[in-house]
Amino acid sequence: MYRRWIVSALAVLLSIFLAACTNITSQQPQANVIATTKSPNTNSQQLPKESAKRVVTLSSLATDIIYQLDQTKLVGITGSTLFKNDPSFKDIPRVSEGQNSPNLEKIIALKPDLVIGAEGFSNQPIQRLQQLGISTFLTQVNSWKSLEELTIKLAQLINADPQPLLNRYKNFLPAQPKESYSTLVLVSRQPILAPNKNSWSGDLLTQFRAKNLAAELQAQSPIGGYVTLSAEKVIEANPEVIIVVNTPQGSSETSVLESFKKEGFWQQLQATKNNRVYSFNYYGLVNPGSIDAIEKTCQQLKQDLLGIEKT
């Protein structure tokens, strides 16, 4: 079950901006992505000649960034569960729902002068919109630096000031983190997947100076930036801290962790023995998702990693 979720949703994006699992039938594809190591195809961009005034976004992170930069420019968004109960977005038209492709007729009716999509998930509708003469931009985030660069680029496209948002990002990170305990992030049980340094998750660990035991590993994997581990490899790594990622939705928050607890090797790990196993949300750690999701993840990393920081 987890294999199908990770392989189907992660394999594709890891062409974007890091999110659909067979258990998540109500998730928007753009919301279910793991960051890829590839760069966006600049040849597929069709940027507006003037600053955009009517923007439609096809990914949750782009939606949030545009809203924070200048909410008056946002005329249509993707139907993401991240904004389902957020009153800030309730009056903005949705151009997609669930796992359905964006509705091109709805997008065209909004008369956008820019449509922003996610590399790997939005390529097909973006290409169709380009054929109709609508300006487009594909995004991709797999590191903190790329998040900052994307924010600056989107601000340029709508003639907004990115600095307040960039300053906010800086507050998410620890001022002077010391190297913390050896850490392993597990994003699925079957197969056991862990992020290396070429992923949003891996780079985020770097920002907190966590010693990511999978950082330098390279292996055959359907998901760029992630490696497949055997139980033997996990035992060999024997991390001091383990972070288990919850599935986006559809099952209990502890389901992935509970599945690991049933494995014979789990109780052999020092992280388990020392009660240093932590559950994290998929959004923010695996898929950036939204600015709020990133902030909450950083707050939890400060608490769970830096709270037990080595001296």
Verify that 48 and 159 share a domain, yes or no.
yes
- Note whether residue 30 is domain-resident: no
261-278 confidence digits (pLDDT tens)? 988 899 999 999 999 999
Q: Quick check: 57 and 66 in contact, CB under 8 A?
A: yes
55 is a domain residue: yes
Domain contains 220: yes
pLDDT band at 253 (very low <50, low <70, confident <90, very high): very low
Average pLDDT, the chain: 82
Residues 6+ apart with CB under 8 A from 260: 186, 189, 244, 266
- Distances in Å between the Cα of 255 and the Cα atoms of 74, 249, 276 are 37, 11, 18
Is the domain of 105 the same as that of 69? yes
DSSP run (H or E) holding 136? strand 136-139
pLDDT score, position 98: 67
Which CATH number characterizes residue 87's domain? 3.40.50.1980
Are residue 158 and residue 49 in the same domain, yes or no? yes
Q: Between these two residues, 19 and 62, which has the higher pLDDT value?
A: 62
Q: Is residue 37 part of a domain?
A: no
| pLDDT for 178 beyond 90 | no
Q: Are residues 158 and 207 in the same domain?
A: no
Task: Judge whether 204 lies within some domain.
Answer: yes
Residue 188 and residue 122 share a domain: no
> Last residue of some domain: 127, 145, 172?
172
Residue 241: inside a domain, yes or no?
yes
Kindly list the distances between the CA atom of residue 216 and the CA atoms of 19, 78, 112, in Å, as whole numbers in the listed order.
23, 35, 43
Q: CB burial class (10 A; 0-12, 13-18, 19+) of residue 37?
A: middle
* pLDDT recorded at residue 249: 57
Structure tokens at 195: 């992020």
DSSP 93-118: PBS--TTPPP-HHHHHHT--SEEEEE
Q: What range defines the domain where residue 167 resides?
A: 42-172
Band of pLDDT at residue 108, cut at 50, 70 and 90: very high
Instruction: Examine the domain organization and report whether 161 and 67 are in the same domain.
Output: yes
User: How many domains in the chain?
Assistant: 2
Distance CA 56, CA 78 (A): 8
Indicate whether 112 and 194 sit together in one domain: no
pLDDT at 232 over 90: yes
Residues 138 and 104 in one domain: yes
Contact 116, 136 (CB under 8 A): yes
Of the two residues 84 and 214, the one the predictor is more confident about is 214
Question: For residues 31 and 25, what is the distance between their CA atoms, to the nearest angstrom?
Answer: 12
Q: Is the dihedral of CA 178, 34, 303, 2 positive or negative?
A: negative
154 and 53 within one domain: yes
Report how far residue 288's alpha carbon sits from residue 203's, in angstroms, rounded to the nearest whole number: 12
The answer on pLDDT for 10 being more than 50 is: no
Domain assignment present for residue 177? The answer is: no
As a whole number of angstroms, the distance between CA 59 and CA 66 comes to 11
Give phi and psi for 153, each to the nearest 5: -65, -45
Q: Is residue 13 part of a domain?
A: no
Residue 112, pLDDT > 70, answer: yes
Task: Label residue 119 by pLDDT band (50, 70, 90).
Answer: confident
Choosing from 138, 172, 206, the residue where a domain stops is: 172
259 in the same domain as 238: yes
| List of residues 6+ apart from 84 with CB closer than 8 A | none
Residue 80 reports pLDDT greater than 90? no
pLDDT of residue 187: 92
Q: What is the pLDDT of residue 221?
A: 60
Boundary-marking domain end, from 150, 172, 194:
172
Does residue 116 surpass a pLDDT of 90? yes
On the question of a cis peptide bond just before residue 125, with omega within 30 degrees of 0, the verdict is no
Per-residue pLDDT averaged across 128-148, rounded? Answer: 94
Please tell me whether residues 146 and 208 are part of one structural domain: no
Q: What is the pTM of this model?
A: 0.82
> Cα(194)–Cα(123) distance, rounded to whole angstroms?
27
Same domain, yes or no, for 61 and 118?
Answer: yes
Whether residue 40 is predicted with pLDDT greater than 70 in this model: the reply is: no
Distance of CA 116 to the CA centre of its chain: 16
Amino acid of residue 207:
Q
Residue 62: its pLDDT value, please?
A: 96
